[in-house]
């Protein structure tokens, strides 16, 4: 059976890592087994590290604060990823803007908590909530040098309900994220 290996990069709680581990790790789709072969965090205290451990996965810690430039940090990421035979890199709440050192060498997708091209960047949930938009949503896209600007792979929206709080908005986004990211991984690796 063909096995496709993914690397998951994260910076925080790892709830999207959890969704990937629960829904695709060591599971078979169209005769293709998907394995999370590498976890990388740029934060030594990221809760996602504990989530990975529950699946017997060790997380490689590569802290960006230990590098003098973005390019040096990206080169360290690329080196670690290339040690493994990785088919796809998944940015799941990885809070770093990546340079061409990474984007020209690594095939990667990113999860973004808005309907791109609207609300790019780190404050997308707050900005989309504060807007007049009557829908919020999530995008999965290929990683490129342009921040949140790569070719779209999948998007899913939800309607704004009256009296919706910021927490309600964020929870609706996270709920979609936990579905759409595993689905996108399967689509890319198993349906081609």
Does 96 show up as a binding residue in the annotation? yes
Does 164 show up as a binding residue in the annotation? no
Tell me the C-alpha distance between 25 and 43, whole Å.
Answer: 23
Does 156 show up as a binding residue in the annotation? no
| Angle of CA points 133, 139, 144, to nearest 5° | 120
Q: Which residues contact 93 (CB under 8 A, 6 or more apart)?
A: 10, 11, 12, 13, 14, 15, 16, 17, 48, 111
Does 97 show up as a binding residue in the annotation? yes
Does 14 show up as a binding residue in the annotation? yes
Does 70 show up as a binding residue in the annotation? yes
Neighbours of 136 (CB within 10 A): 25
Query: Catalytic pick from 25, 112, 141, 178?
Result: 112
The H-assigned helical ranges of 32-138 are 48-53, 70-83, 100-103, 124-130
112 is catalytic: yes
Q: Cα dist. 27→5, 7, 31, 143, 177 in Å?
A: 12, 15, 10, 25, 19
Tell me the C-alpha distance between 42 and 101, whole Å.
Answer: 17
Does 110 show up as a binding residue in the annotation? yes
Q: Which two tokens stand for residue 167?
A: 């927490």
Kindly list the catalytic residues: 112
Question: Which amino acids are annotated as binding site, given as ranges?
Answer: 14-16, 70, 95-98, 110
Binding-site entries for (6R)-10-formyltetrahydrofolate: 70, 95-98, 110
């Amino acid at each position: 059976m063909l096995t496709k290996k993914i690397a998951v990069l994260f910076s925080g709680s790892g709830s999207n890592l959890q969704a990937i581990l629960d829904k695709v790790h060591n599971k078979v789709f169209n005769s293709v087994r998907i394995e999370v072969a590498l976890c990388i965090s740029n934060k030594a205290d990221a809760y996602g590290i504990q989530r990975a451990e529950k699946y017997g996965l060790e997380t490689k810690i590569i802290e960006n604060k230990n590098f003098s430039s973005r390019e040096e940090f990206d080169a360290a990421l690329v080196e670690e990823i290339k040690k493994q035979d990785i088919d796809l890199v998944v940015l799941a709440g990885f809070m770093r803007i990546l340079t061409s050192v990474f984007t020209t060498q690594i095939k990667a997708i990113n999860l973004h908590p808005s309907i791109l091209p609207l609300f790019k960047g780190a404050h997308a949930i707050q900005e989309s909530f504060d807007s007049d938009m009557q829908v919020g949503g999530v995008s999965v896209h290929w990683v490129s040098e342009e921040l949140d600007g790569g070719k779209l792979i999948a998007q899913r929206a939800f309607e704004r309900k009256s009296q919706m709080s910021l927490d309600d908005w964020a929870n609706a986004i996270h709920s979609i994220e936990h579905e759409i990211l595993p689905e996108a991984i399967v689509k890319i690796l198993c349906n081609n």
